[in-house]
Amino acid sequence: MEVEDTMQQRYALDASVLASIVNSDDVDHFSCYTLFRNLADDDKARWVVPGLIVFEFQATQSRRYRKLRPGQPVFRHSPLYYENTELYHVTKKFLAKVYNLGLYDKFSTLRGADLLYACIARVENIPLVTHDSDFDPYRKELTLIKPRDLMRRTSSVTIQNSGKLYTVGYEEVRDSSGGTVRLDTGQATHVGGLTAELVAQHLLEEIISSGLADKLGLGRPLQK
């Protein structure tokens, strides 16, 4: 008799994330694939999906490749056939819970499959993995995991120059090329072989030298 791994965390999975996982040309491919593979390789995840997601995924693939590959099959094998996928059934018991919790009213702006994903996540009290902003108004009711946000790190750097302290915040976004650092003031560059903090310092030094840092009010006099 097979014993289920009780250490696995159950996650409701949005179809848009699945499409990003399998399509290397998708803007969110790196973040979604990294999250999926890290959890799958460590056997830490159990993906909870309704049967509808398989059809929604294939429809998304059809729209994506209809123009790119006219006349060619667009079916893509999805990771949902892995053993750690739990096919979620919409039963009378589930529908009763949705009704009793007032979820139709609570999630009133969601439509179609999005409403179903939200209801599953809420009824089962599990995180919803998505990058769809339509779920954002319901952060109090749902635990949302945005793969792209997991690839971001924010911090700040400070440099002393000519009797002033200059401080600016920055964001590091990791991707398949290594990553990008962007200052709060808009300047950005690839990380390359340096740390994000060092790259941010170099960018700050450049705008201090150009005089832009003073124009933006980033500097403050050193206290005597």
Single residue among 128, 148, 168 that ends a domain in this structure = 148
Q: What angle, 0 to 180 degrees and rounded to 10, lies between the N-to-C axes of helices 15-22 and 52-65?
A: 50
Here the CATH number for the domain that contains residue 53 is 3.40.50.1010
Q: Could you tell me the pLDDT band of residue 1, with boundaries at 50, 70 and 90? A: very low
CB atoms under 10 Å from CB of 18, counted, come to 25
Single residue among 148, 171, 188 that ends a domain in this structure = 148
pLDDT, position 3: 40
pLDDT, position 151: 76
Helix (H) or strand (E) holding 118: helix 112-124
Single residue among 130, 148, 166 that ends a domain in this structure = 148
* 87 and 159 both lie in a single domain: no
Residue whose pair of structure tokens reads 């429809």 in the numeric block: 59
CB atoms under 10 Å from CB of 204, counted, come to 24
* 169 and 142 both lie in a single domain: no
pLDDT digits (tens, 9 = 90+) for 58-115: 777 777 777 666 776 666 666 665 667 888 999 999 999 999 999 999 999 998 889 9
pLDDT, position 44: 77
Q: Average pLDDT over the chain, rounded to whole?
A: 84
Residues 209 and 192: beta-carbon distance below 8 Å: no
pLDDT, position 140: 93
Of residues 209 and 194, more confidently modeled: 209
pLDDT at 22 over 50: yes
Three-state secondary structure call for residue 56: helix
d(CA 6, CA 4): 6
* 142 and 171 both lie in a single domain: no
pTM of the complete model beyond 0.85:
no
Here the tokens at position 176 are 């398949």
Q: Could you tell me the pLDDT band of residue 4, with boundaries at 50, 70 and 90? A: very low
DSSP-derived secondary structure letter, 68: T
Averaged pLDDT, 116-139: 94
CB-count exposure of residue 162 (10 Å: 0-12, 13-18, 19+) = exposed
Non-local (6+) Cβ contacts of 120 within 8 A are 12, 48, 50, 88, 94, 126
Residue 223 lies in a domain: no
Residue 103 lies in a domain: yes
* 114 and 67 both lie in a single domain: yes
Averaged pLDDT, 15-41: 80
Total structural domains within the chain: 2
* 88 and 165 both lie in a single domain: no
